[in-house]
């Protein structure tokens, strides 16, 4: 975002400082003719309080669990779109789209079940005597 637009939105002029906040001023040595100054814009964004709330939410355990579940669901949809070619619906109408997704989800679940059964059969089962 440009500085002028930000100044118009906040209603405050931009404050520029030659010095980074919290750092000591550099000492100009006598041998150096040119000293490059860092120009640091100390701008407070208008929605910083909302960002602080969001940062606090992202540190909770509930949020981390939700992100983990969200990731699983997104991977399933990516699999539907890429492997099962669900990039566009073949049938029109809400009920037909619902049926098409139901069939695709059923296919996906059957494939996952078959994969788990194959893994379980390869491990020999111990029969109690």
**More confident position, 25 or 78:** 78
Instruction: State pLDDT tens for residues 33-90.
Output: 444 444 444 456 778 889 889 999 999 999 999 999 999 989 888 888 888 788 787 8
Q: What residues contact residue 6 under an 8 Å CB cut-off, 6+ apart?
A: 14, 43, 45
DSSP state of 2: -
Percent with pLDDT over 70 in the chain? 59
Contact between 38 and 20 (Cβ < 8 Å) = yes
Hey, what are 87's tokens?
A: 């990039």
């Amino acid at each position: 975002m440009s500085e002028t637009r930000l100044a118009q939105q906040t209603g405050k002029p931009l404050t520029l400082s030659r010095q980074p906040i919290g750092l000591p001023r550099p000492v100009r040595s006598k041998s150096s003719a040119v000293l490059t100054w860092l120009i640091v814009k100390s701008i407070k964004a208008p929605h910083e309080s909302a960002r602080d709330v969001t940062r606090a939410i992202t540190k909770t355990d509930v949020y981390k669990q939700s992100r983990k579940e969200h990731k699983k669901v997104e991977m399933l949809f990516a699999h539907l779109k890429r492997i099962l070619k669900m990039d566009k619906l073949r049938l029109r109408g809400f009920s037909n789209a619902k049926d098409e997704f139901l069939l695709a989800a059923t296919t996906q679940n059957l494939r996952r079940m078959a994969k788990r059964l194959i893994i379980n059969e390869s491990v020999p089962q111990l029969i109690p005597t």
